[in-house]
Structure 1
Amino acid sequence: MIHCQPTALPGVVVVEASVHRDDRGFFLELFHAESFAEAGLPSTFAQSNHSRSVRGTLRGLHYQLEQPQGKLVRPLSGCIFDVVVDVRRSSPHFGQWVGVTLDAGDGRAVYVPPGFAHGFLVQSDVADLWYQCTTTYHHASDRSLVWNDPDIAIAWPLHGQVPLLSAKDASAPTIRTATVYP
């Protein structure tokens, strides 16, 4: 059974699964098609991804323009600060963001619908993330925004540290100059 908690950005949902704990550890359902369909979330996914990152790694902010992906993001190990930004120019929420701390084993995931950029900051020594994507990855559709865009003003919990970035993420455009959704 899942519980869906809406965020300040319409369509972006924190999905909470029941966690069953005992002396051996815990069990939770990562995905249940019928429960997702009943909640109005995608019940089929075309691709699964797994990423591993070390403390201080900041990945994002990524989105796919021509072949947009919805993403269900859940940490399998570690803790992240997960961020979603509305990149639909016609939206009243354009350029707004929400951030959610996700910890492995807490039963929480974030659903990122098409039309939103996604990124995360690793807060534990290592974090493994599992992504379920509604469409397959299409390299030519891949876009990104710079993580520290002053117009978006994300309050990353960096505590004065400089994040570990890929060259692509470090040189990404701002939301003012990026190609975004209409």
Structure 2
Amino acid sequence: MPEALDDAKLSAVLLRPLRPTKVTIVDYDPEWPRRFERRAADLRRILGSRARLIEHIGSTSVPGLAAKPIIDIVVGIDDPEDEQAYLSDLEAAGYDLRVREPEHRCFRTGEPDEPVNLHCYPPGHVETRRYLAFRDRLRTSEADRDLYVATKRELAKREWRDINYYAEAKRPVIDEILGHAGWQE
């Protein structure tokens, strides 16, 4: 189980200060898969063979699921810590590096109209596999979709010191749903 999140741990990996936020959950938008496809095509053009996989993850990747209207994408980069191999290309395309942690970089782009979170991990990284297993379980289990959206709507009633605290608060239900899927690290 990961250590509890606190401001010091967050500040060590975030490239911007903590930002208090209120989460907005909206009904599913059938435009989300098309937004992902456009971004994926751009990423293939920008990164070429450096992008070993490009997958739509998160709630916007699950048909019918209410979500924050932010497209989440995971890209498999052999060595995300080798920023010289890809960072300038992503920045030139408008991606802003927000998180730097071992084997992971997170970027943001498209604000305010079509926001995107871009996670770069090695292709076979445990987090990449978790994202995909969770997405696939939600796509096939109505009960788990209902559980997840109820949790998100309840958590969205609060104001958060930073969006990462909201994400951490969802972790127990995510772990429960992954357990339903038979997930093992």
TM-score of the two chains, using structure 2 as the length reference: 0.24
TM-score of the two chains, using structure 1 as the length reference: 0.24
Task: With a CA cutoff of 8 Å and minimum separation of 6, indicate the structure with the bigger relative contact order.
Answer: 1
* Greater helix share, structure number: 2
